[in-house]
Amino acid sequence: MSGEARAAGDEPEFTPEVGGRSVRLRLRVSAGASRRRVLGAHGGALKLSVKAPPERGKANRDVLALVAEAFGLATSDVEILSGETSPDKVVRLALAPREAAARWRNALLGSGP
């Protein structure tokens, strides 16, 4: 994770889903970037950059893999709910809200999930 993310102090908003077993997370994605990384949180959304171009689902697959990696999940535990053709996306993480927030804090500290 970049130094910008560590210093930001802003946290992404984890919106609980009915039942409390998963959360929704807004993303702002830059596809076709020179580096693949989590840039940090801004305005409640998680900012990411992926190297894959935004064509034929390549960037979306890279986004799913990067989010899964950042939160210590399998790629199958992350699902794009909206924004498949937009840089603004909403994903579902198969994590309870407290667990999602804890994993985000751990990722900021560099200690992993």
Does position 8 have pLDDT exceeding 50, yes or no? no
Asked if the model's pLDDT at residue 2 lies above 90, the reply is no
In whole angstroms, give the CA distance from residue 8 to residue 21: 28
Query: Which pLDDT belongs to residue 4?
Result: 43
24-47 pLDDT, tens digit per residue, is: 999 999 999 999 999 999 899 999
Sign of the CA dihedral running 88, 65, 111, 100: positive
Mean pLDDT of 58-71: 96
Q: How far apart are CA 47 and CA 45, in angstroms?
A: 6
| Structural domain for 24, as ranges | 3-109
Residues of the chain above pLDDT 90, percent: 79
Give 69's pLDDT tier (boundaries 50, 70, 90).
very high
pTM over 0.95: no
pLDDT in the model for residue 9: 55
Q: What is the pLDDT of residue 5?
A: 45
pLDDT digits 0-9 by tens, 71-89 = 999 999 999 999 999 999 9
Q: 32: domain CATH number?
A: 3.30.1200.10
What is the mean predicted confidence (pLDDT) over 57-72? 96
Number of domains in the chain: 1
Structure letter (DSSP) for residue 56: T
